[in-house]
Structure 1
């Protein structure tokens, strides 16, 4: 298990240079309309837009694939869940699995949900892959007027993520050195995974408590005015990025409505 949080994009790329708050806001503005409909077309158009602008963020497709691999696990889980528990079994029967009928309606709903997860999650992956965490915390405080305690605390937690991967590896090696090994038994592997995850959680809580006490001791919650070593400026180009995200999201939603495929999630 490993957690990689460092910036992996070319910082000189046109959109990678934008203000972190602008990139985060654009990701939210572009993603929110994609969850307004159940059809698969809207998230498909959203995904095409996201993949088309990826080079402008200085990201390679291979690097994005390595960052977004957990989404494939989520997609597999959704596929199994929908096949087993979907309430809508309308449409033509494609495959009969005992009491579970796989119909065209099930596949359309599953495809729409999987595409929506990818389309909503990828903007966030792009933002965090192209943004330095310190710049993001500074921009949240300076441009979004977020509380300094919240922003700096989130930055500290973000910086500690790689330690979780190192600690997981250390716990695994320590248990193996004591002869605690599951071998090829899947149930034993599951029990060992759960116990290791619990030990990791306990260690993370203890480290978080110590970090919170240390931050309070250094005056992070003093309420005194803070100064900034690096100024984060919100320019006209950053505003253009936000406007562009709204226009592209509206265009995808409008295309679905015009084609008569819009299926509102409410109503």
Structure 2
């Protein structure tokens, strides 16, 4: 009864946040791959700008507030200016030269490359981060096994490992408190970290052994006489209408972005840029 109530609360919360919160995690994974992978082939500014504009409605439908999104994409906010600055100073020199000093060449071509890199990092990174905020690992495992038909044993083993990985932070903090209570935390920081790391290794091995025994006792990996895996799923996973809409939009975004860049003449193969 409690589990049912929790599922109802989660469903209501997802509907309140945004339409795409109810999308299948596998659909989100495929959408990110389809939407962002084609953007890697070119480095022009127009395709990245168009992709960002077209991606904006999808990100809005996730329903997350600006503060929460910014707290998740801060590595992108840091990486984009650094990458753009590197391309601006040391990118392929072409066109009019604005400033030169040693190996530094700020030219018309390097400015265009810097703008393209800056926008492209956002066009590729932001959807990948926002679409996977609050994705349930269990739902992802269900989707990988039932929708993509991946082998159940490695999927569930990875899920179990992911679930137990979250315990490592609490174990690390518990070890620190226990060592301080015993007066063992006053030594050098390096020795304390080394000692706690060894203790964490022992705990991980013990927990892994117990988890493997438990999963085997519950029939994990059991097969019939024909070698077929005996596996049922408590939560069915399938693609809904919102999932197909998301996948369709993921195809439309790079198609329009790259097509418009090619039509306007700004399309620039990243391979040729690197070779030059």
| Aligned residues of 1:10 and 1:57 also touching (Cα < 8 A) | no
- Correspondence 1:88-103 to 2 at 5 A: 88-103=92-107
What TM-score do you get using the length of structure 1 for normalisation? 0.75
Q: Does 1:64 align with 2:69?
A: yes
Structure 1 distance, partners of 2:169, 2:257, is: 39
Q: Does 1:142 align with 2:142?
A: no
Q: Aligned-pair distance for 1:108?
A: 2.2
Q: Structure 2: any 5+ residue segments left out of the alignment? A: 1-9, 224-228
Q: Name the structure 1 match of 2:28.
A: 23
Q: Name the structure 2 match of 1:107.
A: 111
User: Quick one: structure 1 residues 199 and 264, their matched pair in 2 at CA, closer, same or farther if it must change by over 3 Å?
Assistant: farther
Q: Does 1:178 align with 2:186?
A: yes
Residue aligned with 2:19, SS: coil
Q: Aligned-pair distance for 1:18?
A: 1.6
Structure 1, 200-209 or 251-260: larger mean CA deviation: 200-209
Decide which structure has greater helix share. 2
What's the Cα RMSD here? 3.5
Residue aligned with 2:142, SS: helix
Q: Aligned-pair distance for 1:37?
A: 0.8
User: Quick one: structure 1 residues 77 and 235, their matched pair in 2 at CA, closer, same or farther if it must change by over 3 Å?
Assistant: same
Q: Does 1:40 align with 2:45?
A: yes
Q: Name the structure 2 match of 1:187.
A: none
Aligned pair partner of 2:212 in 189, 210, 216 = 216
What TM-score do you get using the length of structure 2 for normalisation? 0.72
User: Quick one: structure 1 residues 200 and 89, their matched pair in 2 at CA, closer, same or farther if it must change by over 3 Å?
Assistant: farther
Structure 2 distance, partners of 1:171, 1:106, is: 51
Residue aligned with 2:148, SS: coil
| Aligned residues of 1:10 and 1:58 also touching (Cα < 8 A) | no
Q: Aligned-pair distance for 1:170?
A: 7.1
| Aligned residues of 1:78 and 1:110 also touching (Cα < 8 A) | yes
Q: Aligned-pair distance for 1:66?
A: 0.6
Structure 2 distance, partners of 1:172, 1:75, is: 37
Q: Aligned-pair distance for 1:177?
A: 4.9
Q: Name the structure 2 match of 1:120.
A: 124
Q: Name the structure 1 match of 2:7.
A: none
Q: Matched residue pairs, number?
A: 246
User: Quick one: structure 1 residues 208 and 142, their matched pair in 2 at CA, closer, same or farther if it must change by over 3 Å?
Assistant: farther
- Correspondence 1:7-22 to 2 at 5 A: 10-12=13-15, 13-22=18-27
| Aligned residues of 1:34 and 1:120 also touching (Cα < 8 A) | yes
Aligned pair partner of 2:234 in 188, 211, 229 = 229
Structure 1, 201-210 or 244-253: larger mean CA deviation: 201-210
